[in-house]
Every structure is written in structure tokens, then in C-alpha cells.
Amino acid sequence: MPSIDMPLEEMRRYKPALYRQPDFEDYWRTTLDEALRQPLNAELIPYKLPCAGAECYAVRFDGYKGGRIAGWYVRPRGNGRCPGICVYHGYSGRAPRPLDVMHFVAAGFCVLTMDTRGQNGQSQDAALYPDGHYMGWMTQGIRDPKTYYYRYVYADAVRALELLAGREEVDESRLAITGVSQGGGITLAVAALSPRPVLALPDVPFLCDYRRAVSIAVNGPYPEISNFIKAFPDQYEQAFRTLSYCDNLNLAPLIRCRTIISNSLWDDVCPPSTIFAVYNHITAEKQMEIYPFHKHELPYEHRELQYRVLVETLRP
């Protein structure tokens, strides 16, 4: 499939203006204050898996403003304090399970994975959305920024990182966050909203530069937004006003940790220009790994690169 996007050199220069609302900072300050004050009520349930070097647990904690968020926690056996990795998953999927992260645990990392609320894992979505939405989650609560689905998701993700940081066996000064697609978008958001990560590894991230993404993405979740606006054309301005609060384009300047982003130039789900739009607004230490002939996918070599960077940076 040929690229549907801009030429690479044009994308390298692509830096659309931020479109934050006047109360953008207050919106997130209020949200995070609420999210961090709310008790986690975390529960770790031992999970039997024959592995001599690791301990596995099913995780439950309270979601932002209600419901129980599910996930998995795997730690190396032993008494030392370890670096931690928090992992977020792709759209409509579920969190990586214990065997999926065992290579990190074998290297000395504690790993927490989170089921995104209401999707295909076990996390509950207890939020009340006053109106209907197009199928999927992209337009759930979109008529009001305070009820928008991804406000809750980002707050849940910050709370998951707090749970990891609070474990006695975890060194809270050595934390990384990562995820693919939706998980990559959540990774970018948490890097912007939490001071805890020292390393962010978002892969082919979703939730970036919504206005361009909606206009060119032909597959994946972005068309949910255009289909909603097609049904309710009077909601065009309000929809993008709501989206502006959760667009990583607007959050990118808040990122303070080292960030390594992967970008596949034949991606018709998360268009590469939308990822460049966010990347070009990040002022922290950063690098982009470009894969010119991949679609919404990653090569093995990128996984190995991430593994090496994690080990070198967090020193397990």
C-alpha cells in the first residue's frame, strides 16, 4: 500500500498550531487533583503460574470516579527494589497478560498492565454519559469535555502508574511507560500529565492531531468521529472543542521525560503526519524511529531497540 500522507520531508516540518481552550490547564489540574486524591483501594490477587523467577497477580483498583479497573502485575522474586514499567493496550483490546511481559520481568523489571475501561478486558466503565454516541468509544461523552471518555481513561492510566510507583519493591525514581496504538496515545498523555516517568515508549500512537487524523484516516477508530458528526452536523464545533482537551497535540509540550516514538509511514490507522505533529511539539529529549514500509505494525528490531533502551536507562 502506498503512503496516503505527506512526503517525509514535509512531515518532518509539520507542526500545526496548538488549539487549546482557555481553560485547558485548569481542566487537567482539576482532573488530576481529583484523580490523585481518590483512594486506589488496590487489590493484588495471587495468580498461579509456574515460573521460578517471578510472582504474578491479577490487579484491581478503583477507576477515576468509580468502577473497578483490572490489570496484571508481575514482579521478579527477591527483596531488592526494581524499576517499573506500566503498559497500556490498543483500541478495543485488553492488557498484556503475564507471559506477554515475562521478558521484562526476567531482566529485573516490575510490570503493571492496565485494561482500558469498558473495552475487551475486565475493567468496568462506571461513568455516566448523558447522551448516545457512535459505536466504539471515540465519541462517548463527546458533547461535553467533562464527560468525555478519554478524560476518564487518561486519569485511570495516571492512577495505574501511581499504583506501580507505590509498591514497596518498586523504585519510584525508575519508571517507564509504553503501549502500542491507543496504548501509545495513552503513554503520551501520561508522560504529559504525570511527573513520574523517566522514559516513555509510545508506538504508532493513536489520539494525535485529531483534526487531521479525522480528515485522512480511512481505517480504525478515527472514522467514528466523522460518522458521529455526519449524524449530528451541528455538533462539529463542540466535538472538536471536546477533543482538544485529550488531543496529544495539545498535551505534547507538557512532556518532560525522554520519549522514543515509532512511526510507520504506510499506516492508514494512525497517519504518520499526526504522529509528527505531536513529536514536533515535544521539547523534552526525544527520538523517532521511522519504518517506511510498515503499516500499523512494528518490526522485531524495534522491540529489541526498546528493550535495550529500557535496560540502559532504568538499570535493573
Which residues are the active-site residues? 181, 267, 296
Pairing of strands 199-203, 258-264: parallel
Distance CA 16, CA 135 (A): 29
Distance CA 286, CA 274 (A): 16
| Cα atoms found within 13 Å of the Cα of residue 128, Cβ hemisphere only | 1
H helix runs in the chain, sequence order:
8-13, 24-37, 102-106, 149-165, 182-193, 210-216, 223-231, 236-246, 248-251, 272-279, 300-314
Which DSSP helix (H) or strand (E) runs through 99?
A: none
